[in-house]
Chains A and B, each alone.
Chain A
Amino acid sequence: MDDKYKRILQSAQDLRWEVGEDFHERIMEALYTDATRIADRAVTYPDQKPRFDLDRTIDRLVTSRVWGFPLMILMLTLVFWLTISGANYPSKLIFSLLIDKVQPMLKAGAASIGMPWWLSGVLIDGAYLSTAWVVSVMLPPMAIFFPLFTLLEDFGYLPRVAFNLDHIFRRAGAHGKQALSMTMGFGCNAAGVISTRIIDSPRERLIAIITNNFSLCNGRWPTQILIATIFIGTLVPAQLAGLISAIGVVSIALLGVLLTFLVSWGLSRTILKGEVSTFNLELPPYRPPRVLQTLYTSVIDRTLIVLWRAVVFAMPAGVVIWLSANITIQGTSIAEYLINFLNPFGLLVGLNGVILVAYIVAIPANEIVIPTILMLTVLVTGASGVGAGSGVMFETQSGLATLSILTRGGWTLLTGVNLMLFSLIHNPCSTTIYTIFKETNSMKWTVIATLLPVVMGFMVTFFTAQIWRLIAGW
């Protein structure tokens, strides 16, 4: 080190003794005093008391001990109900356009230019269909869900959610700001993991990172919505179906929140012990949301970007699925080998081999779980008349048709419920895992954050299956 540099540090050290211990506080005090003085000179407050403070009135309601939580759940249910019932019709429309009309045209076109069957299979039945499926199933719900969520965000509701949840997080030994990173995770877990940077203490930040996976991300919303619609919605009369399905999805999301608390609690008492830090949560003023701008940004920035990501992953996945279903060894396709191999374990935990294979294929993107499951189910049951031959990823005209395919594949209500549970509790997608590694810079914590949820997921589905079978008696 240079001598003259050392001299500066030395005299700083010496002088520190002279100025006395309390000087840090003195500096802060001076800062506050000056800020107050300057602000006082510039700001004039109104003479009379504000007649009616709307912000405070709303706050008193949405953060009240009695009404805070019910209002929160009500709001969530309303958002999902609008999403589920609103997405139905446009989904069908896009589907019939992309798959009933465009796909046969592509097939015919391929045949007329003499494309070999395997090439048109890979391109049209594999890559195109999986992409078309993802677009028709994901676009409408996202185009409704994201704007609604963004409007709530713009209005200023999210910090109130954090305010309501703060004391629970505190009791769980975690940081209150985790409520914000958790809420962020409902959009995208990778974004949620990055947003934990607002938490100062490394211990509490790790807890927030590991548990962020339990925030149901938008890649998993469509799975939840679809399975809830076809298994839970069909249990009740049609006019109630949308509402009941929405309640099903909300229950799963709330279970995720509950798991966040439980796992945070567990972590803070075992491998991540320590004190809870305090912080100030600022409740911003409510602002009238800018509706048009919100619509624009949430459709362009969130919906299309997420959709694009899904498409990018769905295309190669479609190719892989088609190939694994059409390359056979001794008359049996690779996919069937895998499914049969995983089936016993799958059934043990109340799922099946198809679901497990689909989850392996879908590690890059959770969005394509459902199309993969449907395609593989048809492959295994050999159902004729639906889809267009082996290895073709397809969607069905309605929830009921999907249900009939799935029941033919041996699905029960238990399989549906367990799929919803497993979709909530399993490893984060590859993007999130990579983000966790970048943020923590530690292989150990990345592995823990990846494997802990998988193990938990299998445990939860296993016990659900055992209890269910005990009660149902088979």
Chain B
Amino acid sequence: MVQKKTGNAGTEILKIITPGDKILVVLILIFGLMSLFAVNWLKKPGDRVIIEVNGQELQRLDLDSSQNITVTGPIGNTTIKIDHGAVRVVSSDCPAKICVLTGNIRHAGEIIVCVPNKVVVKVAGKTENQFDVITQ
């Protein structure tokens, strides 16, 4: 069969998209956007910042304050900036800088982890239990 050459290959491929595909995409889009709103609605604002180095809790700070903290881990320094309700890692001596790229966190339960430098920054909420374990 001789194929007529029309346009480029890309637009040809897009012609195989069926109405079912479009319905599926719209359904998933609606579901995704709804879950986005649901998640934002479920999130509680944080209250405290917990900084852990090497698995040990180092500091517990007020999330509403404004300060810079530098902690030292196994491979160097990690600088954490708390700025009125949001916290982020501003600089770190780790190679991949994933902790810096994570950006600001502000909701209870959110967490920044720097695996190479073993630094964990957590935001804890008001309603969350303050104790790790209660024995009776």
Do the two chains belong together in a single complex? Answer: no
Give residues in B with beta carbon < 8 Å to A. Answer: none
